[in-house]
Structure 1
Amino acid sequence: MSVSPSAVLRSIVLLLGALFLFVLLDATAKHLAQTYPVPMLVWARYAVHLVLMVVLLGPSMRGRLVSTGRPVRQVLRAFCLLAVTFFSMAALARMPLAETTALLFAAPLLVTLMARPILGEQIGAVRWTAVLIGFAGVLMIARPGSGLVVDGVLLALGGAVSYASYQIMTRQLTATEHPVTMVFYTALVGTAGMSVLLPWIWAGPLPTAFDALLICSLGVYGGAGHFLLTRAFRDAPASTLTPILYVQLAWAALVGWLVFGDFPDGLALTGILVIGAAGALIALHARRAGRTG
């Protein structure tokens, strides 16, 4: 099915908007995590997201929001994203925004490794090379003497593994499941899972009015970002949009510098660029293979 240039341009704009919202989410979480417990922030991120979907989409979609032929897979996928949120926020509380984002972007490299045993995909020399280059970039960032704390690096890599699992399950579900339903399950499962723990994770000082707005904004950024992301990939080929995802690395570095005064040193910046290049190479190779296959 051909896609008009105007539809592709609109999808690119939507995707760029989603990526900027995700950077705002991470920056806000990093700021709040200096005062409030990370699990409480994770709960707020999903609870507000859920309320927004119920209020805005519930009246029109009704039962279609939860209608799925693969409920177990939906729940497992949602738990993977919940793990991504927890690991990434915990890592952001300990490390700069740019380096944390870059380590999380090792996920496409892990997806490439996981795709063969789980999805039966052939990797090939180009993607193997990209994976090796990408992990060299990870080592440039997380090297001894980089100034990054070990537990922060491990949390970010845990987020990358969880994100890779989330992406693999997303591939398995997209052929049969409605995209909005998939987004709704992430909000529903994240809220339910964290609400069970709420009596034990609700701690810290009572939020000020401004901090309460910032805490609620986590769900707005996350929910709106995932909505824009879904709309973008609905109207344009994934092979066209996927390389653009790495714009988030540049924005994370810029926001980290402007807001927190953190800017990667020379070797870490090189590592960020290497990870972005490796991921883009994998995406471009997949696009070329799709055209010739």
Structure 2
Amino acid sequence: MTAAARGGPDWWRGGLLFLCVVTLFATVDATAKHLVGRYPAPFLNAVRYGATLAVAVAMLAGSGQLRFWRTPHRGLLVLRGLMLAVVGTCFMTALLWMPLAEATAIYFMAPLMVVGLSPWMLGEKVGPRQWLAVGAGFCGMLLIVRPGGAVSWLGTVLMLAATLAYAMLQLLTRRMAGQVDARVQYGFAALICMVATGVPAPFFPPPVWPDLADWLAILAMGLMSAAAQVLLILSLQRAPASRLAPLNYFHLLLALVYSALWFGRWPDALALAGIALIVVAGLTQTLPSSAALSTKRGTP
């Protein structure tokens, strides 16, 4: 059994990197919610991924890997890039009709999909403790959003598409861990996303061009997305996707904080109970089991 599987140092490093990933993604989502009411989603995504591609090209040029298309596993890399493009496009478009917290909550069916698909796509073993933790986190999510109310059906469909794509993105990243350099994975994703979002962008020009503050916010989305993608690859090289999946719920907590402080949507008592349940569920995966600790103490 590897150190990552036992919850050793590699897994702890992977978990911390993954927390940085979800923090960056949550900030990108909140910024997108702030901007998407004024500017079309295709325009925002094109500028965002243009900045991301510029960072990717600079990184690959600095490492002498600018001809990254010669790498093996090109089919999986293209598929991974398309999944990221679907996530960005569907999520941002859904924010036109849905509040940030509700949209993010639907998005967090992704950990369930990762856990459910990882045994078949990756051959990873998923134990009862992981299923229980993810199920508890899902129940906490239901307490927060209490679906069945006035949630847009179109926004829900878009968010479900983004959810499935994000789960596939994590699984594909884990599948190529150790086989394809992280910078090459990132370069492929940036290029595919730029093409996929850049093609429709000319058909959706902004009614008014952004001022300096909004341009900075849009570019910041691209830079944060770039950093998150690199850290996501590094985290999944250090820990199984199914073990990191419950940490995705930290993104939901941040979405609630942003909703409260940025958009004025404060959680009620049931939502706070849901938050507590999600935190407990995440901690059961973040902390190593007693068996792992006993094994570690007994190792010379």
Give the Å deviation of 1:18.
Answer: 3.6
Q: Distance in 2 between matches of 1:15 and 1:259?
A: 24
1:90 and 2:73 are equivalent in the alignment: no
SS in 2 for 1:63: coil
Evaluate the alpha carbon distance shift between residue 150 and residue 265 of structure 1 in structure 2; reply closer, same or farther with a 3 A threshold: farther
Evaluate the alpha carbon distance shift between residue 225 and residue 121 of structure 1 in structure 2; reply closer, same or farther with a 3 A threshold: closer
SS in 1 for 2:178: coil
Which of 34, 37, 54 in structure 2 is aligned with 1:31? 34
Given that 1:39 and 1:194 are in contact with CA atoms closer than 8 Å, whether structure 2 keeps it comes out as yes
1:78 and 2:81 are equivalent in the alignment: yes
Given that 1:116 and 1:122 are in contact with CA atoms closer than 8 Å, whether structure 2 keeps it comes out as yes
* Aligned residue in 2 for 1:179: 182
Given that 1:109 and 1:134 are in contact with CA atoms closer than 8 Å, whether structure 2 keeps it comes out as no
* Aligned residue in 2 for 1:151: 154
1:221 and 2:191 are equivalent in the alignment: no
Given that 1:43 and 1:195 are in contact with CA atoms closer than 8 Å, whether structure 2 keeps it comes out as yes
Q: Among all aligned residue pairs of Structure 1 and Structure 2, give the percentage whose two residues are the same amino acid.
A: 34
Q: Deviations over 1:220-267 (max 9, x none)?
A: 110122234445555x55588665554333222222211111123343
Question: Which amino acid letter does the alignment assign opposite residue 167 of structure 2?
Answer: A
* Aligned residue in 1 for 2:262: 259
Q: Deviations over 1:34-53 (max 9, x none)?
A: 11111211212211100122
Bigger drift between 280-289 and 58-67 goes to 280-289
Bigger drift between 33-42 and 205-214 goes to 205-214
Residue pairs, 1:151-170, within 5 angstroms? 151-170=154-173
Q: Deviations over 1:2-52 (max 9, x none)?
A: 79x999887766554443322221111101101111121121221110012
Question: Which amino acid letter does the alignment assign opposite residue 25 of structure 1?
Answer: V
More helix per residue: 1 or 2?
1
Question: Which amino acid letter does the alignment assign opposite residue 49 of structure 1?
Answer: T
Q: Distance in 2 between matches of 1:89 and 1:109?
A: 22
Given that 2:111 and 2:167 are in contact with CA atoms closer than 8 Å, whether structure 1 keeps it comes out as yes
Instruction: Specify every segment of 5 or more residues in structure 1 that has no aligned partner in the other structure, as ranges.
Output: none
Q: Distance in 2 between matches of 1:287 and 1:34?
A: 49
Given that 1:17 and 1:225 are in contact with CA atoms closer than 8 Å, whether structure 2 keeps it comes out as yes
SS in 1 for 2:218: helix
* Aligned residue in 1 for 2:250: 247
Which of 182, 192, 195 in structure 2 is aligned with 1:192? 195
Give the Å deviation of 1:166.
Answer: 1.3
Calculate the aligned-residue CA RMSD, in Å.
3.6
Question: Which amino acid letter does the alignment assign opposite residue 166 of structure 2?
Answer: Y
Give the Å deviation of 1:184.
Answer: 1.3
Give TM-score, length-normalised by structure 2: 0.79
* Aligned residue in 1 for 2:44: 41
Given that 2:40 and 2:204 are in contact with CA atoms closer than 8 Å, whether structure 1 keeps it comes out as yes
Instruction: Specify every segment of 5 or more residues in structure 2 that has no aligned partner in the other structure, as ranges.
Output: 296-300
* Aligned residue in 2 for 1:208: 211
Give the Å deviation of 1:138.
Answer: 4.8
Which of 112, 118, 122 in structure 2 is aligned with 1:109? 112
1:21 and 2:33 are equivalent in the alignment: no
SS in 2 for 1:260: coil
Evaluate the alpha carbon distance shift between residue 265 and residue 152 of structure 1 in structure 2; reply closer, same or farther with a 3 A threshold: farther
SS in 2 for 1:49: helix
Bigger drift between 21-30 and 87-96 goes to 87-96
* Aligned residue in 1 for 2:66: 63
Question: Which amino acid letter does the alignment assign opposite residue 50 of structure 1?
Answer: L
Give TM-score, length-normalised by structure 1: 0.80
Q: Distance in 1 between matches of 2:227 and 2:91?
A: 19
Q: Distance in 2 between matches of 1:155 and 1:138?
A: 18
Give the Å deviation of 1:203.
Answer: 3.5
Given that 1:99 and 1:264 are in contact with CA atoms closer than 8 Å, whether structure 2 keeps it comes out as no
Question: Which amino acid letter does the alignment assign opposite residue 108 of structure 1?
Answer: P
